Amino acid sequence: MDSLFPDDDAPRSSAAPAPLAERMRPRAFDEFVGQEELLAPGKPLREAIERDLLQSIILWGPPGTGKTTLARIIADTTKARFVSFSAVLAGIKEIREVMGEAERMRRATGRRTIVFIDEIHRFNKAQQDAFLPRVEAGDIVLIGATTENPSFEVNAALLSRSKVFVLRGLTVEESATILKRALADPDRGLGATRVDIDEDSLRAIAQYANGDARVALNLLELSVAAAPVGDAAKPAPEASADGILDAGIRRIDLARVQETIQRRALLYDKSGEEHYNLISALHKSMRNSDPDAAIYWLARMVEAGEDPLYIARRLVRFASEDVGNADPQALTVAVAAKDAVHFIGMPEGNTALAQATIYLATAPKSNAVYEAYNQAAEDAHHDVAEPVPLHLRNAPTRLMKELEYGKGYRYAHTEADAVADMSCLPPALEGRKYYDPKERAFEKEIKRRLDGWAEIKKKRREDNGQHGR
């Protein structure tokens, strides 16, 4: 079986010990923490793995949630030939060689090949296409692991032939369970080292990990390595030949954990799906008039390093799309926030973004402007592009006047109430209504004005009709 996974039985006396996260990698389902909705006894994915009946799958989830571990369990379980690729290292030549060997093996022995592709989203279209014929022919079973949305990163043809399983980030409790196992395990973990760590410190590590088991174990290992041994006033304990402390306790408190953490690196990809997920959460929280949720999502983006002007542009858009004329001041506030961020930069500009976000979240909402434009744009695209009515055209030349440009135009300022009974739409769209202000906030006043002007125009038409008789 070909695999990139190391042999657990290989001698390691001459090599540095593997990192704690690698040593504690689960070797069987009973060691696996989390993902019960996929891997609990009787669940389809676990059944398929244990019965060696697996079909092509895509494992999609954040880092450190068990994608590679699942592949390793599959490698240890299956009777099929197992080949592992890293999309970072493999090229099209290596892919074609493995595909050719898989086809020959299937024809000669009937034995299938399971191909695990770590970070499949890093393969380009040509590389992904190289797998497709062998998947269709049944020569290989494809297992792809990705942190990116497969809908965007995996070819549609390959995706349609695979079942996508979504792995979630670990909960704080699950991460804490993994840490406790590592502390207790004397063979693969830190059980041979006497460690004194309180529950608050352990939980702080679990929270910092943000659902990533690898991050949690790496931080625990670093904290233990940096911790002082016993009481500084007492002589240092002696170590055994293999380097394991025979006496003394490494003490880890919350302050030491926080010192090790220093600053949390938030999970965020400014060009990937999480970028769009977070801006969507911000937009929808403001739309739902929830300033607490809105400010949280804003902070998530700002603290993760998002371009502040990108956020400002989205706030300006929101001010017109979701607040509109229910509060005309909203657009002014959003543009001012954009100018403030541009003028003073970051991190000082974060409060301008926060002020605008809270203002927009608490402003009255109306999408009437947004709907009006969309309906008008639809007519502009689909209806005949009628010429501008003559009475609305300027007539700067004699020829234009002779062609009756401007004839019949009525200057609103000379009319009673500054409104003329004059249509400004093309004849085919006469009477069309695009803007329908809501019965709330400032748009209620706008609606009152429009209704009043409509009554004035109606009365004048009626009067003109009577005079005409």
Which pTM does this prediction carry? Answer: 0.62
Phi then psi dihedrals of residue 213, to 5 deg: -65, -35
Angstrom CA distances, 190 to 19, 213, 220, 250, stand at 11, 16, 10, 11
Determine phi and psi for 83, rounding to 5 degrees. -125, 135
pLDDT at 379: 82
Domain ranges of the chain: 20-166, 172-261, 273-362, 388-468
Q: What is the pLDDT of residue 184?
A: 93
Name the CATH topology of 273-362. Zinc Finger, Delta Prime; domain 3 (1.20.272)
Is 273-362 in the same CATH topology as 172-261? no
pLDDT attached to residue 241: 44
CA torsion angle 134 136 139 143 (round to 10): 80
Residue 164 to residue 247: CA distance in whole angstroms: 50
At the fourth CATH level, which superfamily is domain 20-166?
Answer: P-loop containing nucleotide triphosphate hydrolases (3.40.50.300)
Residue 281 buriedness (CB in 10 A; 0-12 / 13-18 / 19+):
middle
Contacts of 118 (CB under 8 A, 6+ apart): 67, 68, 71, 84, 85, 86, 87, 88, 145
According to DSSP, residue 428 is labeled G
Helix (H, G, I), strand (E, B) or coil at 262: coil
In sequence order, the 6+-apart residues with CB closer than 8 A to the CB of 430 are 423
Dist CA 194 CA 227 (whole Å): 11
Q: 172-261, what's its fold? A: Helicase, Ruva Protein; domain 3 (1.10.8)
Q: What is the pLDDT of residue 110?
A: 83
Q: Is 162 helix (H, G, I), strand (E, B) or coil?
A: coil
Per-residue pLDDT of the chain (469 residues; tens, 9 = 90+): 444 454 444 444 445 578 999 999 999 999 999 999 999 999 999 999 999 899 999 999 989 999 999 999 998 888 888 888 777 666 777 788 888 888 888 888 888 889 898 888 888 887 888 888 888 888 889 999 998 888 888 888 899 999 999 999 999 999 999 999 999 999 999 988 888 898 999 999 998 888 999 999 999 998 888 887 764 434 444 444 444 444 578 888 888 888 777 655 565 565 566 778 889 999 999 999 999 999 999 998 898 888 898 899 999 999 999 999 999 999 999 999 999 998 888 888 999 999 999 999 999 999 999 999 988 888 887 776 778 888 888 888 888 887 888 888 888 888 778 887 788 888 878 888 888 888 888 888 888 888 888 888 888 777 766 554 4
Q: What is the CA radius of gyration of the chain?
A: 33
Question: Residue 20: its pLDDT value, please?
Answer: 93
